[in-house]
Amino acid sequence: MIAAEPQLLTGGEAVAHALCQIEPDVVPVYPITPQTPIIQTFATLVADGAAHTEIVNVESEHSAMSAAIGSALAGARTATATSSQGLALMAEVVYIAASMRAPIVMAVGNRALSGPINIHCDHSDSMLVRDSGVVQLFAENAQEAYDLMVMAPRIAEHPDVLLPVLVCQDGFTITHAAEPVELLADELVREFVGPYHRADALLDVSHPGTHGPFAMPDYYFEFRRAQADAITAAGRVIDEVADEFEGLTGRRNGALEQYQVGGADEVIVALGSSAGTIKDVVDELRAAQRHVGLLKIRAFRPLPLRELRCLLSDAADVFVLDRADSPGGAPPLAADVAFALAGEASRLHSHVYGLGGRDLHPEAVRDVFLQRAPHYVGVRGDECPA
């Protein structure tokens, strides 16, 4: 069933191939490093006739998401892609996309937000739209980025969900690094994704409706409550789609991945490519008889809080690694895990690492497990200067 041999592709190229196989009707997009190779590869494939997609070269990311909303609500399958400042500029409209229940699939090459201006990976861009109501899935490597992209339209377009789905991959670390990737056959992806049909399509003039109506204090809260319900439903749909995808490929891409979590006393919780490094350190410490594990989060939104609690409450120590900071408050993932574990006996340790593309070395991960690491892992200077 799987097409031929694995191909050597970067994460960006892998996702572009997934997009080509999904063949969205419309892709409004604006280039930005490190997302550019995604749309560049996709545009080349479209120009070569591999997909029949209307690519709209818009003048900004704000326009990209605005056009994507119109397109998705009109009844066209719609995708886009961005990074960092692009996502920041788009943020206002990302909230609107979620509230108008536009099932847009968006590839994100995660990159640090300015300033200082930087082009390398951290998750501050994703965290900026954390509360917008969009689904956010994080990939560990190029294969996962491809797989999650193939799954994304099914999640986004499910009638109980109808929300944007962001498929996030670490900028450069994944977007620009070539790895062997198994691509599915085109027909298989097309069959898996299926057609997009929207019952209340904007262009269905025989059933007119007002989309995005004004909501006063008597209705705004009900809208937001309904939106919360939609993203909760996405949790169930992610599981269903992951089951089906696993049946097709043998690869499981559920909301969480447990790596030696069963019976572990010490567990790291993390998102993205650093999971690969952490798994190596888990193997090494397990060989030295230390009961350590990794809980990798693919679905950051909706975050499966109940499962997190079940899986982590037996661990004596839980180390949350955030690749974004919340100056003056708790880092975003640490805050979520603390919420999930409220009332449990596990000790929670919060670490911030990798800002602006700073590497996370195995020694640093070892220090985290051995409780020798400072809150800010890998920064020069003392934790508490004299």
Quick one: 226 or 310, whose CB is closer to other proteins? 226
CB of 216 to other proteins, least distance (A): 11
CB of 99 to other proteins, least distance (A): 7
CB of 280 closer than 8 Å to CB of 228 = no
What is the rounded CA–CA span in Å between residue 77 and residue 157? 9
Binding residue (CB under 8 A) for other proteins from 131, 200, 280, 363: 200
Q: Encoding tokens for residue 3?
A: 């097409």
- Total interface residues for other proteins by CB under 8 A: 24
CB of 154 to other proteins, least distance (A): 17
Binding residue (CB under 8 A) for other proteins from 17, 77, 101, 111: 101
Binding residue (CB under 8 A) for other proteins from 99, 124, 274, 346: 99
CB of 15 closer than 8 Å to CB of 82 = no
CB of 198 to other proteins, least distance (A): 9
What is the rounded CA–CA span in Å between residue 91 and residue 80? 14
CB of 225 to other proteins, least distance (A): 4
Q: Encoding tokens for residue 158?
A: 């499910």
Q: Encoding tokens for residue 127?
A: 């965290």
- Kindly give, in sequence order, each residue whose CB lies less than 8 Å from that of residue 131, ignoring residues fewer than 6 positions away: none
Question: What is the per-residue DSSP string for 165-185?
Answer: EEEEEETTTTTT-EEEE-PBP
Quick one: 150 or 165, whose CB is closer to other proteins? 165
Interaction pattern, residues 203-242, with other proteins; x per rule: CB under 8 A: ----xxxxxxx-x--xx-xxx-xx--xx------------
Quick one: 204 or 265, whose CB is closer to other proteins? 204
CB of 75 to other proteins, least distance (A): 13
194 near other proteins, rule: CB under 8 A: no
Phi then psi for 260, rounded to 5 degrees? Answer: 60, 35
Q: Contacts with other proteins in 126-155 (CB under 8 A)?
A: none
Residue 118 in 3-state DSSP? coil
What is the rounded CA–CA span in Å between residue 223 and residue 310? 31
Quick one: 213 or 329, whose CB is closer to other proteins? 213
Quick one: 211 or 347, whose CB is closer to other proteins? 211
Interaction pattern, residues 148-187, with other proteins; x per rule: CB under 8 A: -----------x--x-------------------------
Letter string b/e over residues 196-217, b meaning 16 or more CB atoms within 10 A of that residue's CB: bebeebbeeeeeeeeeeeeeee
Beta strands 347-353 and 317-322 are parallel
Cis peptide before 374 (omega within 30 of 0): no
Quick one: 38 or 73, whose CB is closer to other proteins? 73
CB of 139 to other proteins, least distance (A): 28
Quick one: 217 or 247, whose CB is closer to other proteins? 217
Applying CB under 8 A, the span of 16-24, 95-103, 118-126, 351-359 interacting with other proteins comes to 95-103
What is the rounded CA–CA span in Å between residue 294 and residue 321? 11
Q: Encoding tokens for residue 175?
A: 């977007």
What is the rounded CA–CA span in Å between residue 4 and residue 182? 8
Angstrom distances, CA of residue 215 to CA of 65, 74, 207: 22, 22, 22
- Residue numbers at the binding site for other proteins (CB under 8 A): 99-102, 159, 162, 200, 207-213, 215, 218-219, 221-223, 225-226, 229-230
